[in-house]
Structure 1
């Protein structure tokens, strides 16, 4: 079957779902189809991940609650069924009301680990005729294959996400930082929209680590990571650069804007209380920050990193707990 080839050719969920709906619409001459899915088991509702035969405005706000009686019914009856038939068995159901408005005729539940996590829905056929039992069986087989494939694709994406995540701070790791900085540098080269980079280092961290122990030091890094995520803009990219160093990629930001954000970060961390921070030389947990920007200071991602790191070194050399912008005199 052509669908099986599609399933095993790739693990990307969006491409997979699109291929599934195209296959179903073609094989069963359906005028429309929906792929409704929750994505993660702890989500309380499902939403449309892909559709065929609908305008976007018709389905963009469609949400089905997992607590709906429809999904309670499917826990005991996992076979594809017509909407009219399941309405008689379930009775009042907001999910069925919404699907009926979209002229859906066939519902096939997607199970992951014995839980209903989605639905494949088919609209009316081009030629008005009922689905036969063999056809419903065929839809059931397709749904089961897709359930396995979507589960594998989800696991793949989760593993891929973990490979780009620092385990201790839950920030992006250095590998992800390198990839994204190169991407953003190329974007800047095309659009000349600006790009800045901040690198920061925890002041006298070794002193704190030696006196309080590594678990306490790790907690300091985790807390700083939280402060960074709360302080940056939504589209900024925060990563653990290594050890007690962090990096923040600022797409579409010039040097002036980078300076404002760097100073805001410095102040936020200085004002944050840390356990036993009085043991530090200046009585507080603080950070030093250096930053540089494209195109003023560099033309490539590698050079931008070098310039921001150079500015950080100057911040530490000039007393710590301060922000330094790169300037050409630093390398002369």
Structure 2
């Protein structure tokens, strides 16, 4: 109580300098009193001995007051120092409680304000750090996505087989969104129906054993049938209300969530890409939805390219190595010649020729030598037929000749002439393996078949039997 009283009595000033002056003055007064007691001649007040006790008490009182004043100055400074050390150690939750209106109070207030600013800055830095970390994670994620898309693009650019591209794209589905199942629904080129073409993931084998590939997909019927017509990416997650169609879809594939992306190109619908999982409370991020859409577009490009390549192959009529007509053109031309022969009541023969022991030659002398032989044989065929006849490379080392208007007897002469020329061409070779011969068979419409497919099928069977019997002959 005394401490508070003296504080109110002497330290009402707002300036620390005033407090120090008061403390210093009191100490000086105490010293003067003490000196007066030691040297009584200085002042008459100190001469009587009766004032001895009073002088001592006054001096003691003055010293106590000065000490209290100094203590009021020193204690807050020590407190501020200790708090400052704790703040410097990183404890930014500390706050200096200083109910003073002098310079020490202002110092405490300034330290508190500085601590708050530091804490705010640290909080802001932590916030930015978390944002930066989140951005880095997203950047890394997008890099992985881009790498996956580039991998599929490289396969397409390299003209890889369609099945390889489709498998790679389906596998990529499992790398995003914690998906565990990838499904490809494609349009069958023969029937035009949409069917499940490929499954990948931990449940793929089980689903295939359950016969999921045999389940029909009808346009406009069920979730998948409607998804084909909508041609938009469909997300089935926690945010999508359940329905009978969704429940049936989830039950069918054994999943709880899915992304269904249409495989389309220039208005043509080729199928659907489906990715799913069984995660509770799953929400598909917009980025993941975008990724599956891009994968579906890449699949569409691959399917479209494959269709174009097949169309080009159909349009090509010649073999790039020999210059003869190719298999596709020969089948089509034979069909046309048979129709023409039927209308005009004329015969039409088909000759199929194969080189004997050509596989052995290929293994012994290599690919380049084998191609050279095929070119020579093609030249012999061109020289051996009339302008109305058509010669073709029908297989690896098989050749065919369409002979419009010629019956089997006339065709035998042409075929045997070809056989002899081939035999004569390689007769003088020193290595017995280079002495190539050929075997040929002849079929005639309508005796051996009324369609091109029937003549070709019968020719293939007859050729195999003839070569098995020794070769270097013409059979019919």
The TM-score with structure 2 as length reference comes to: 0.38
**Which residue pairs with 2:62 in the alignment?**
none
- Cα distance in 2 between the residues matched to 1:104 and 1:250: 58
Q: Residue 12 and residue 178 in structure 1: after superposition, are their counterparts in 2 closer, same or farther (change >3 A)?
A: farther
Task: Tell me if structure 2 keeps the 8 A contact 1:33–1:121.
Answer: yes
Aligned to 1:205, which of 389, 392, 405? 405
Higher helix share: 2
- Cα distance in 2 between the residues matched to 1:97 and 1:169: 52
Aligned to 2:236, which of 77, 82, 90? 82
Cα deviations across residues 268-308 of structure 1 (Å, max 9, x unaligned)? xxxxxxxxxxxxxxxxxxxxxxx221xx52xxxxxx5xx2x
- Cα distance in 2 between the residues matched to 1:178 and 1:87: 66
Cα deviations across residues 97-130 of structure 1 (Å, max 9, x unaligned)? 6644466622212124434331211121679732
Q: Residue 204 and residue 99 in structure 1: after superposition, are their counterparts in 2 closer, same or farther (change >3 A)?
A: closer
Task: Tell me if structure 1 keeps the 8 A contact 2:255–2:277.
Answer: no
Task: Tell me if structure 2 keeps the 8 A contact 1:24–1:30.
Answer: yes
Q: CA deviation at 1:201?
A: 8.4
**Which residue pairs with 1:148 in the alignment?**
301
- Cα distance in 1 between the residues matched to 2:353 and 2:278: 49
1:292 equivalent to 2:438? Answer: no
**Which residue pairs with 2:474 in the alignment?**
311
1:124 equivalent to 2:277? Answer: yes
- Cα distance in 1 between the residues matched to 2:398 and 2:160: 35
Q: Residue 95 and residue 202 in structure 1: after superposition, are their counterparts in 2 closer, same or farther (change >3 A)?
A: farther
SS of the residue corresponding to residue 159 of structure 1 reads: helix
1:65 equivalent to 2:240? Answer: no
Q: Residue 140 and residue 204 in structure 1: after superposition, are their counterparts in 2 closer, same or farther (change >3 A)?
A: closer
How many pairs does the alignment contain? 226
**Which residue pairs with 1:224 in the alignment?**
451
| Higher normalized contact order (CA 8 Å, seq sep 6+, divided by chain length) | 1
**Which residue pairs with 1:27 in the alignment?**
176
Task: Tell me if structure 2 keeps the 8 A contact 1:30–1:123.
Answer: yes
Higher strand share: 1
**Which residue pairs with 1:168 in the alignment?**
333
Q: 1:243-322 residue pairs with structure 2 within 5 A? A: 247-248=459-460, 258=465, 291-293=466-468, 296-297=469-470, 304=471, 307=472, 310-312=473-475
Q: Residue 133 and residue 33 in structure 1: after superposition, are their counterparts in 2 closer, same or farther (change >3 A)?
A: same
Q: Residue 31 and residue 97 in structure 1: after superposition, are their counterparts in 2 closer, same or farther (change >3 A)?
A: closer
The TM-score with structure 1 as length reference comes to: 0.51
- Cα RMSD, aligned residues only: 4.9
Aligned to 1:6, which of 152, 157, 160? 152
Query: Which structure 1 segments of 5+ residues have no match?
Result: 188-196, 209-218, 233-237, 239-246, 259-290, 298-303, 313-322, 324-332
Cα deviations across residues 133-155 of structure 1 (Å, max 9, x unaligned)? 22112211221122122211232
Query: Which structure 2 segments of 5+ residues have no match?
Result: 1-145, 317-326, 337-349, 364-396, 409-444
Q: CA deviation at 1:205?
A: 3.0
Cα deviations across residues 191-215 of structure 1 (Å, max 9, x unaligned)? xxxxxx999989993379xxxxxxx
**Which residue pairs with 2:124 in the alignment?**
none
Task: Tell me if structure 2 keeps the 8 A contact 1:32–1:54.
Answer: yes
Q: CA deviation at 1:26?
A: 1.6
Aligned to 2:287, which of 134, 148, 156? 134
Q: Residue 102 and residue 40 in structure 1: after superposition, are their counterparts in 2 closer, same or farther (change >3 A)?
A: farther
- Cα distance in 2 between the residues matched to 1:184 and 1:34: 44
- Cα distance in 2 between the residues matched to 1:116 and 1:223: 39
- Cα distance in 2 between the residues matched to 1:16 and 1:4: 12
